[in-house]
């Protein structure tokens, strides 16, 4: 069984065929999917999707959305976490973090929302799903100031030293479509060399397409659309990890799924992953 540890199934790209996307994922052996929220407007959506399809969800405010967010959204997040704290499908707080790649974002505002959400993770004893983009050291500083019960550093792209620092703080590291590009040498090196127990798989669908769905700038300018990523791609993405580690696909599924359950303990409490609830 595969676990997609990060997928935005609520994204508008899936509005036309969401049920078919889920069916394809299950046919490919992806039986559990983690659905993170990105802002207050999709708290209800991800929860409802998780219950409708037997998946799990996280609630949080993404750093790319903090410019439109208010402190009232943090209050709403706390209220939602309190209201649903006994929901076994609520597995984490996320997607939260820091993004110092996208220009024009207020760094201090990002840090405020990040730290406030770490406080909520501590209050509700939930792991976190971290957005990490040119921000590993700053994220680590926040975690040392406000330790939480682990989680996943999603789409990890830092150094080996930063990777080990996250692992030392109880985090697993998420690898997805970028892993399939031969030019992604640093990420592939990390995936090959990090301890096996630190790795989880994700698609980040519909984002971060694997190489077989990617279109170059020249192709896009000529009118070719980028192929849409979806959770059914996870086993094929996993082939890259298996090749790097010298594992069989069965080993890769077993190891990464076990790691996801460690990172998100409530996953282990679901007797029938993927079954509707």
Residue 154, annotated as binding a ligand:
yes
Residue 62, annotated as binding a ligand:
no
SS3 letters for 71-102?
Answer: HHHHHHHHHHHHHCCCCCCEEEEEEEEEECCC
pLDDT at 274: 43
With 0-12 / 13-18 / 19 or more C-beta atoms within 10 angstroms meaning exposed / middle / buried, residue 80 is middle
Tokens 């990420």 locate to 187
Q: Which residues pair with 79 in a beta bridge?
A: none
Tally the domains of the chain. Answer: 1
Letter string b/e over residues 95-133, b meaning 16 or more CB atoms within 10 A of that residue's CB: bbbbbeeeeeeeeeebbebbebbbebbeebebbbbbbbb
pLDDT at 275: 44
Q: How far is Cα 67 from Cα 110, in angstroms, rounded to an integer?
A: 8
pTM: 0.95
Indicate whether 104 belongs to any domain. yes
CB-CB neighbours of 224 under 10 Å: 11
Indicate whether 274 belongs to any domain. no
Q: Are 130 and 97 in contact (CB under 8 A)?
A: yes
Asked if residue 273 has pLDDT above 50, the reply is no
111-163 tens-digit pLDDT:
999 999 999 999 999 999 999 999 999 999 999 999 999 999 999 999 999 99
pLDDT at 218: 75
Residue 30: give its domain's CATH number.
3.20.20.140
Residue 51, annotated as binding a ligand:
no
Indicate whether 151 belongs to any domain. yes
Residue 131, annotated as binding a ligand:
yes
Q: How far is Cα 17 from Cα 261, in angstroms, rounded to an integer?
A: 29
Indicate whether 276 belongs to any domain. no
Residue-number span of the structural domain to which 147 is assigned: 2-269
2-47 tens-digit pLDDT:
999 999 999 999 999 999 999 999 999 999 999 999 999 999 999 9
Asked if residue 94 has pLDDT above 90, the reply is yes
Indicate whether 275 belongs to any domain. no
Indicate whether 249 belongs to any domain. yes
Residue 197, annotated as binding a ligand:
no
Q: Which two tokens stand for residue 37?
A: 């929220």
Indicate whether 61 belongs to any domain. yes
Indicate whether 132 belongs to any domain. yes
Residue 193, annotated as binding a ligand:
no
């Amino acid at each position: 069984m595969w676990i997609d540890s990060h997928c935005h199934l609520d994204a508008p790209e899936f509005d036309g065929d969401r049920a078919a996307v889920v069916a394809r994922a299950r046919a490919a052996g992806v039986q559990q999917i983690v659905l993170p929220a990105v802002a207050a407007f999709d708290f209800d959506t991800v929860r409802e999707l998780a219950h409708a399809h037997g998946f799990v969800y996280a609630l949080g405010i993404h750093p790319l959305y903090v410019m439109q967010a208010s402190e009232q959204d943090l209050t709403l997040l706390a209220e939602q976490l309190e209201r649903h704290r006994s929901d076994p499908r609520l597995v984490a707080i996320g997607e939260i973090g820091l993004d110092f790649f996208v220009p024009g974002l207020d760094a201090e505002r990002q840090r405020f929302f990040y730290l406030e959400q770490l406080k909520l993770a501590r209050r509700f004893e939930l792991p976190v799903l971290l957005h990490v983009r040119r921000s590993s050291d700053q994220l680590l500083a926040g975690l040392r100031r406000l330790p939480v019960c682990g989680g996943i550093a999603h789409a990890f792209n830092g150094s080996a030293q930063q990777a080990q620092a996250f692992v030392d703080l109880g985090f697993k590291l998420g690898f997805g479509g970028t892993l399939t590009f031969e030019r992604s040498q640093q990420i592939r090196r990390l995936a090959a060399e990090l301890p096996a127990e630190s790795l989880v798989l994700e698609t980040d669908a519909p984002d971060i397409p694997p190489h077989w769905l990617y279109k170059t700038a020249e192709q896009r300018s000529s009118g070719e659309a980028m192929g849409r990523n979806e959770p059914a791609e996870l086993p094929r993405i996993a082939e890259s990890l298996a090749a790097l580690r010298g594992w069989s696909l069965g080993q890769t599924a077993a190891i990464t799924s076990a790691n996801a359950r460690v990172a998100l303990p409530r996953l282990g409490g679901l007797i029938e992953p993927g079954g509707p609830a």
